Structure 1
Amino acid sequence: MITAIVGLGRMGMRHASVLEQCHLPITAISDINRDACETAGNNYGIPEERRFMSAIELIDQIRPELLIVATTAPGHCELVVRAARNGTKMILCEKPMATNLRDCETMISACNSTGVKLAINHQMRFMEQYTIPKSMIESEAFGGLGSVIVSAGNFGMAMNGTHYFEMFRYLCGEDSVKVSAWFSKDELANPRGPQFRDASGSIRLETSSGKRFYMDCSHDQGHGMNVTYNCRNGRISVDELAGNLSFVVRKGEYRGESTTRYGMPYETGSKTITPADAVAPTRSVLEALLKGSDYPTGEHGLLAMKLLVAAHLSNERGGATIDLREEPISRDYTLPIA
């Protein structure tokens, strides 16, 4: 298979490692940084003539069957569309999917019209820190999900927050329809360049059935990724960096009692899970894409972006709730995200 990577930053190099693990030789690479291109080329034995400074030239000349797009978000749309029209069969694109909804829709349309399988690297369905809580939440013992609370360091609404939007959709099996957000006023430097900015702060989502999601990743919080799942009969807490899961759940004979009796006798437990990691779940996304099923699609990436744009609109309105069922979101509202 003719395989190529465009974008050789930290995430691009993780993709290179994943391709190597999957025994897929890298045919060609591209990065606007010559040193990054040289380093990756030397590490993976890629000939000089297949190291490109221009991703467009790579796509036009190499015509890869599998393309990994690991550039910053503003370039995603052009590269995905170009590849789809040049014979690429599968594309794995980093998140955030794009910088506005119109670009997301353009990417999806280009891939659908040419039969290209497009995956967005939202890996949550493959990570133990979510698959295990999901199975517990759906059990008779825990009785279903009420809310999710994410308490985290300043990891950015776009860069990491969109992952949690997809996680919430995956856990609920339904889309969020209401969005409220309050962003921090302080902006911190983005390591990808001064042209990029990402919001910190807090957000609330709600599904049509009333399930709630709360996340605080404000600028004055510098550590942690902790998630609490509040259920009908219990609570699950996960320290994602440490790989620790703990829970409390009502004893069986009390599970039919009203939720107002919140002090019923309970059982406790804990287990060790795989800590947060980018490489292994990215490999799972790629393997699902290669198989052609159960991968995070362009439509999933679009939904995460729609919530992000709605969050920015809500913040501009002082935290007013945006109901996506009633208010169309501008397709051209563009975010300065990486």
Structure 2
Amino acid sequence: MTQESEKKEKSKYLKAPVFAVAPMIDWTDRHCRFLHRQLSKDALLYTEMVVADAIIHGPRDRLLSFSPAEHPVALQLGGSDPAKLAEAVRIAADYGYDEINLNVGCPSDRVQSGTFGACLMRDPGHVADLVSAMKRVSSVPVTVKCRIGVDDQEPTDVLPDFLARVIGAGADAVWIHARKAWLQGLSPKENREVPPLDYELVYAMKRENPDVFIGINGGIADLEQAANHLAHMDGVMLGRAAYHNTGMLAGVDAFLAGGGIAGEASTEIDWPALRDTMADYAAELIGRGGRLHHVTRHMVGLFQGFAGARRFRQILSTDATRPGAGPEVIAAAFAAVDIDGGSRVQSEEKRLAG
């Protein structure tokens, strides 16, 4: 295989358009990703951020193991030491991830104290060194997720230079959260909401880099908004919107295939099959010493807009957390939902919104 064909083979799943579920600490664990994969076979799923030091010195299997059903799945790494990040990439290679992503966007105090995440945007040359080190040892695409700037930086000045450096270092793709990060004075939650979105700047970066995969993240609420962004970008990445309204993911595959935006989520999902798959998955996890709540906590957003959704959430939030709770709780929660009624509720909501 030639170098060029090998590059194309590595990056083939990054062919536009891509819909991705963002890496979210404490949320996008392996159980969350397994659920999301039942709803969409084509969405690109990301792990929580895993710190390179934790992979090198910590419980590797617990941090890196995942179900083969989750593919395509990307590992997001945090770190600022080229040698440590390279070692983490080498270790992760045995687990079969489809992509390795470098976090240059998280603004939390804990991440800043480790001098990685969004604060790295102050030193694009160093980020380029990190990408180069990761690329040298990776057999899969290496990508970057960043902000448009931090603190008093002027995004129109710093973002083009940042992209030039990381792309020059070999980054296969860049995901841009279209907000600044304020490293002092705003909490991580406020950093997702307070700094204004600048989609036009991100669109301009794509126009200036037509041959590089560039995706957009930040404030995207649904598939209709995702479609608007894909008119300009190679990929869209949704975080909390996809997590809290999980059923949205059932429309992703048809959406990416050019089939438009599904009008009724209930027509896209085989609910009994999903119920049985998740119950079997939970039973297997419990047999290995896990708890039902480890699975069901990610399922509470499945039935937004459906009659019975409140009762569904109540069952999962109470019964599933009790000692000894088993997969029968999932069956009981699903039984509380009027799936056909949900279709009617959603249709009425759309009519009123229109």
TM-score, normalised to structure 1's length? 0.31
Q: Which has the higher helix share?
A: 2
Q: Which has the higher strand share?
A: 1
